[in-house]
Structure 1
């Protein structure tokens, strides 16, 4: 049995990044760039006016300029401005050849076809955005491993990039085991329970942007379970099993994974809930065998599966706690196991909720995080700071 810290260290060292694929820019929000992106063009791609005003060639001796032309944004003619002349120009419009300065319209005195202005307020080159001032062609504009934001989508679109390389989200197979489980919508017979783990796992995966999900159901019979494991490993990058990983007479998952050629990374963690957690690899396929208890499933998913999937998708360090904040309660308990307690962060404090028993799901109706109590800690007092993990 290993510690929580050891388990996370093993996963961080062994979970691969997913394959790189190109996706449309409009589908890239919150994805991780898999390769640095270079600009396809100079930005601006031409000298243009930063103001509504008048374009001219600066001359220290000249005081009056004759107006000869007008250039609006989007004008694709190649205008030429004669020496000593000026033209009306609007923001974003191309600066005509022969001009080197734009005077804002509010500072210009216009009389008929001529303009003048207070020259001591300006100097040569004012209010022109020169070609390549922001970016030159082949400049790196977004570094590898950055998260795509609305701002970076705007930047990429501005240079005409329609597709970008990202780490592909994994396909995930969910295998639910247990003779006692019944699908939602069907009446329960005596001794049966509803399948809660399938829906909760799918919900968490959807929240991570995972939509390629396959569902498998296996009774507690070795050959049937083996067939589902083999099918899931063939078709999916991640395989999540629920139940059958403890040491009971009907727990066949571990042997089934061994028969399928899965290499064990670790089995059992010094934590509560979720001690009998199994993690293994088969080539680049990742297998999590979770306990059958829904509280354990939710805990293990958030602490181990979620950060592993985020690492696969290129996130740099998804293993850190969300926050370290003060307790609103006192905690006394026996050391030896790391506890992940259902909790709610409110008004800057973490409140430990009642109903911490592993069978009890009622706290999940109001909880928004897990509070981590390290294995060596026996007592925490109100105001002590602890790590919390939002889900």
Structure 2
């Protein structure tokens, strides 16, 4: 067995490179940029007015001009404005040649064709957005690894970008093992239990932005298990297997993976829950085998599978805890194992919930995090700061 910290280091070093492709800008919200983006134009691309008002070639002390015409926003009309003349202009309208200042409409009066400025202290160059004052042509807009937000979409669109290179979420296959499992919704027969792991894993993947998910169930037979795993590795970027990874008479996952040439990276961890955890590489694709107990599945998914997927999607600092929080009560544990406890985080404090058994899901009705208790400690007093990992982030 290895420690949790060693497992994180191994997975960080062995996570395959995520795939990237070009996606329409309007579909990229929340995804991660795969390449640096440079602008091909300046923004604004021409000198334009920042206000509704009047444009002129302003000379200090001048207060009156002859109105020559107007330039609406979007107009491509070129007007020549002579000394002593002004033109009606609107926000975003291109500045005519030989004009340098815009006086807002509320600071003038009109008498016939004469424009009279009623405000003192007009500054030359006022209310003009010059070419490239926001972005210069060739400037770096966004660096690879940045999250594409609505604001970033607006920025990229303002430079004419319609497509962006993004990391694509992986195609994930889920295999659940067990003769005892039946789908929710069917009548429960003696000796059977409902399959809760598959829908729980699907929901967890969808929360990460993974939408291409295949799910299958396989019986506890070696040949069937091996064939199903082989098929899923061929057709997916990452495979998650639930159950069948321990050492029972009907646990065939590890031997099936070995026979397929998978390279074992991790097998068994000094942690609770989820000691019989497996991670490996097969055809340069990550394969995870999680214990069958539902709470162990969700714990192992959050601490190992989720960071790997987030890294494949271009995210950074995926192995760091989400927060530090103060324990509301004292906790005792067995030394030599890292414990991940279901917790409820609120206002900087975290409560250890009842129902910590690996088979018990009841605490997840109110849990919003896992509390990480270090391997080397046996007791943590109330008020101790502990690492927390949010369930829904």
TM-score scaled by length of structure 2: 0.97
- Cα distance in 1 between the residues matched to 2:60 and 2:226: 88
Q: Is the 8 A contact 1:178 1:244 kept in 2?
A: yes
More displaced 10-residue stretch of structure 1: 342-351 or 221-230: 342-351
SS at match of 1:133: coil
What per-residue deviation string (whole Å, max 9, x for no partner) do you get for residues 82-135 of structure 1? 222111111111111121111122222332211232675122211110111111
Alignment of 1:231-270 (within 5 A): 231-270=231-270
Judged with a 3 Å threshold, the aligned counterparts in structure 2 of structure 1 residues 299 and 61 are, in CA distance, closer, same or farther, namely closer
SS at match of 2:386: strand
Q: Is the 8 A contact 1:17 1:167 kept in 2?
A: no
SS at match of 2:83: coil
- Cα distance in 2 between the residues matched to 1:217 and 1:247: 20
SS at match of 2:351: strand
What per-residue deviation string (whole Å, max 9, x for no partner) do you get for residues 214-237 of structure 1? 112211111111110110000001
Residue of structure 1 in register with 2:189 after alignment: 189
More displaced 10-residue stretch of structure 1: 229-238 or 160-169: 160-169
Residues matched between the structures, number: 391
1:347 deviation in Å?
3.6
Structure 1 runs (4+) greater than 4 angstroms displaced: none
Residue of structure 1 in register with 2:177 after alignment: 177
- Cα distance in 2 between the residues matched to 1:220 and 1:63: 91
Root-mean-square deviation over aligned CA pairs: 1.3
Quick check: 1:4 aligned with 2:4? yes
Which residues of structure 2 form unaligned runs of 5+? none
More displaced 10-residue stretch of structure 1: 296-305 or 190-199: 190-199
Q: Is the 8 A contact 2:60 2:124 kept in 1?
A: no
1:61 deviation in Å?
6.1
Q: Is the 8 A contact 2:218 2:225 kept in 1?
A: yes
Residue of structure 1 in register with 2:383 after alignment: 383
1:333 deviation in Å?
2.4
TM-score scaled by length of structure 1: 0.97
Which residues of structure 1 form unaligned runs of 5+? none
- Cα distance in 1 between the residues matched to 2:357 and 2:20: 42
1:49 deviation in Å?
0.5
Quick check: 1:311 aligned with 2:339? no
More displaced 10-residue stretch of structure 1: 50-59 or 297-306: 50-59
- Cα distance in 2 between the residues matched to 1:157 and 1:238: 33
1:189 deviation in Å?
2.1
Alignment of 1:328-343 (within 5 A): 328-343=328-343
